């Protein structure tokens, strides 16, 4: 009998050792009449979740509260099916660790039935797959970047052709606007002399005294509009040009910000009447990649524009130097809806988005963060719900 007891103890000990290699931890749910009456989380839970077995024993809803809001319906569905005696497939979902970080886990459920086939309990095997998911996420981001690079190369060819087609007639407009401006200046003395001799007269359907100023404004408007077209096509061509991705360019950040504003100009105009930009210092150049940094700023501008509730709310961009730390700071602030503290902790996580219902992928800020980090800098985002968001791009000054 003693040998049998020892054999059972050895078997149990061996089972527990093997279980540690098979899974990060196990939990057990006892079922009665299709309802959970008792749940036990093994000691390994503290490694994965930060909470102890005693924490789970005291708080029956702790595990469910830890699950990401977006994942709760499928986690609840898995548990309901298991309690009803239905075999369920392993489920991958996210939880919030006690330290505030998020983890990916794989939850595999094994049912245990009585002789009548009724479910008496089930074991949940929890694997921490966070590292795997992050690796998959990074691989996916790299793949997206490669696809984007290929698209940008194709777009660059297309944009170059379109820009050429637009610039030809636009240059014609610019040259003729300048010609007619000179003609108008030359005929001014003659028209003025005629006015002084004969009094007011009709020109372009209006009295000369009114048409004079109107025509001058119209000619200036034509020139300014054509110059704007030229600037936009040049910015689009530069942005869409084939970029090898190297971080060894000498970058003028003022030009980077100007280019981003030009490209996002239509969205800015449609989003706010209060857009401000300030350059507080004479900015030094940095070493990096102009196109990638422009992508970061465009993304931040887009996010700010989308956060505004009306056109009276403002967006402000400022550039300055931190001489102590030898960095350039690009700060973008908006008066939009802000970000919940719960979401703020996860905004740089791949695939995390609060805009999935409108097509958000959760990659914009993740890619932007990686771009800034690759430049040796940092991207810091702070926000107050209902009051707005501030994003700071911090980049090291180029060493001569």
Angle of helix 130-198 versus helix 364-374 axis, rounded to 10: 90
Do 102 and 70 contact (CB within 8 A), yes or no? no
Is 2-128 CATH 3.40.50.300?
no
Query: Which tokens belong to 243?
Result: 């970029």
Q: What is the DSSP letter of 25?
A: E
Is residue 218 within 8 A of residue 210, CB to CB? The reply is no
CA distances to 5, 7, 14 from 2, in Å: 5, 9, 18
Q: How far apart are CA 83 and CA 67, in angstroms?
A: 19
| C-alpha span between 362 and 354 (Å, rounded) | 8
Q: What is the pLDDT along the chain (400 residues), one digit of tens a residue?
A: 555 555 555 555 555 554 444 458 888 889 888 788 888 898 888 888 999 999 998 888 888 899 988 899 999 999 888 888 888 889 999 998 998 888 899 999 888 888 888 888 888 889 888 888 877 776 666 666 655 555 555 555 556 666 667 777 888 888 888 888 888 888 888 888 888 888 888 888 888 888 888 888 888 888 888 887 877 777 666 665 555 567 888 899 999 999 888 888 888 999 999 999 988 768 888 999 888 898 889 889 988 998 899 999 999 999 999 888 899 999 999 999 988 887 777 777 765 565 544 444 445 687 788 889 989 999 999 988 889 999 999 999 866 5
Same fold, 2-128 and 246-400: no
**What pairing do the DSSP bridges indicate for beta strands 274-279 and 314-322?**
parallel
In the chain, where the domains are located: 2-128, 140-242, 246-400
Architecture of the structural domain at 246-400: 2-Layer Sandwich (3.30)
From CA 145, how far away is CA 130, in angstroms rounded? 22
Q: Specify burial of residue 207 (Cβ count, 10 A radius: 0-12, 13-18, 19+).
A: middle
Phi-psi region of 47 (alpha: psi -120 to 50; beta: other; left: phi over 0): alpha
Calpha distance 82→76 (Å, rounded): 10
Coil, strand or helix: which one is 259? helix
């Amino acid at each position: 009998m003693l040998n049998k007891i020892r054999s059972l103890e050895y078997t149990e000990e061996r089972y527990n050792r093997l279980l540690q290699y098979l899974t990060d931890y196990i939990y057990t749910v006892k079922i009665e009449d299709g309802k959970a009456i008792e749940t036990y989380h093994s000691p390994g839970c503290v490694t994965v979740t930060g909470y102890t077995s005693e924490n789970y024993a005291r708080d029956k809803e702790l595990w469910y509260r830890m699950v990401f809001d977006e994942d709760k319906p499928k986690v609840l569905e898995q548990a309901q099916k298991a309690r009803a005696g239905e075999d369920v497939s392993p489920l991958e979902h996210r939880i919030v660790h006690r330290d505030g970080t998020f983890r990916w886990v794989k939850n595999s459920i094994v049912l245990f039935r009585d002789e009548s086939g009724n479910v008496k309990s089930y074991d949940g095997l929890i694997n921490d797959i966070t590292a795997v998911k992050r690796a998959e996420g990074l691989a996916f981001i790299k793949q997206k970047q490669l696809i984007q690079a290929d698209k940008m190369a194709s777009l660059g060819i297309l944009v170059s052709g379109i820009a050429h087609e637009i610039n030809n007639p636009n240059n014609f407009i610019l040259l003729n606007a300048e010609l007619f401006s000179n003609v108008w200046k030359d005929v001014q003395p003659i028209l003025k002399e005629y006015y002084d001799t004969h009094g007011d007269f009709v020109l372009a359907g209006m009295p000369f005294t009114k048409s004079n100023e109107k025509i001058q404004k119209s000619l200036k408007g034509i020139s300014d509009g054509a110059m704007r077209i030229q600037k936009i096509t040049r910015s689009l061509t530069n942005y869409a040009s084939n970029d090898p991705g190297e971080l060894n360019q000498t970058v003028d950040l003022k030009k980077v910000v100007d280019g981003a504003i030009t490209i996002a100009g239509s969205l800015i105009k449609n989003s706010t009447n209060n857009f401000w930009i300030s350059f507080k210092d004479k900015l030094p150049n940095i070493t990096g990649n102009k196109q990638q940094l422009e992508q970061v700023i465009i993304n931040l501008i887009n996010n700010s524009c989308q956060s505004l509730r009306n056109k009276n709310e403002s967006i402000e961009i400022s550039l300055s130097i931190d001489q102590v730390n030898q960095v350039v700071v690009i700060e973008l602030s908006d008066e939009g809806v802000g970000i919940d503290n719960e979401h703020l902790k996860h905004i740089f996580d791949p695939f995390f988005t609060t805009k999935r219902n409108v097509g958000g992928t959760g990659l914009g800020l993740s890619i932007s963060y990686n771009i800034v980090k690759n430049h040796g800098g940092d991207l810091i985002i702070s926000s107050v719900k209902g009051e707005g968001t501030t994003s700071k791009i911090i980049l090291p000054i180029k060493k001569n």
